[in-house]
Amino acid sequence: GLGTSPQGSRHPPERRLLLLGGPQSGKTSTANSILGDEFFDAGTETTHSNVGQTEIYGRRVTVVDTPPWSDTPAQPPPSLDSEGPCMGAILCPPGPHAILLVVKRRTLLAHIETLFGDSACLHTMVLFSCGDWLGRTPIEEHILRGGRELQRLLEYCGNYYHVLDSKTPGKDRSVSVLLDKIEEMIRENGDKAFLPIQTECFPIIQKRQRKGVGNQFGRVFEGKHFKS
């Protein structure tokens, strides 16, 4: 369960996770799975960033769900002046410990490189939300079939990835393994968060903060997640 660490280790008091992904990628359902409850409405398209906070293993976990990016190559990366990843990053100051890039079939490498730059790769994990869709197909086979684009995305993320199926029994165990992988990635980064202030997001962050509208773009849901 998620009430105690499977390794019995002590965890830091807070972790901030920023979820990015395309339309119908399963991003909102994934956020709910991590938080352990239906914090967000997965049945409608996310139009602005939402924040959910809970306690897992006795530590505070903040999850930010963001509006979807276009997942078609013909579409340009999101405008820096639109609601999206930049505003999502503002909602977990000073920045996320991990960026979870939720994918199903298509990938979004061009978007994340354009917006967050090369430094984001150290903090990004690919989260496959297609656990139910994969069936008995090993994820490694899916990656091989995904072609060079998917393989390049995984290389960008240091081959950090996880498969999460939010629809089937045993998802608590899968979330627990995901959190352990996130901890491993964070340790490799020297326990440092990704700071959007050092990226192309900085101008929009300054603009929003000057207007005092940063807190108007997200709704905060709070709860506690304990399962034995």
Answer yes or no: is 75 within a domain.
no
Answer yes or no: is 142 within a domain.
yes
For residue 48, give the DSSP letter.
S
Answer yes or no: is 223 within a domain.
no
Answer yes or no: is 160 within a domain.
yes
Q: What local confidence, expressed as pLDDT, does residue 189 receive?
A: 85
Answer yes or no: is 97 within a domain.
yes
Ranking 53-62, 93-102, 117-126, 205-214 by mean pLDDT, the lowest is: 205-214
Answer yes or no: is 25 within a domain.
yes
Mean pLDDT of 33-39: 87
Dihedral in degrees, nearest 10, Cα atoms 74, 76, 77, 82: -130
104-127 pLDDT, tens per residue? 755 566 667 766 777 788 888 988
Q: Is the pLDDT of residue 92 over 60?
A: yes
CB 195 within 8 A of CB 62: no
- What is the domain extent for residue 163? 14-38+83-213
Q: What is the CATH number of the domain that holds 90?
A: 3.40.50.300
| Kind plus residue range of the DSSP H or E element containing 173 | helix 171-188
Answer yes or no: is 110 within a domain.
yes
Answer yes or no: is 227 within a domain.
no
Q: What local confidence, expressed as pLDDT, does residue 18 receive?
A: 92
Total domain count for the chain? 1
Q: How far is the CA of 164 from the CAs of 14, 134, 171, 173, in angstroms? A: 22, 11, 7, 10
Dihedral in degrees, nearest 10, Cα atoms 178, 183, 186, 190: -170
116-156 pLDDT, tens per residue? 777 788 888 988 876 556 667 777 887 787 777 788 888 88
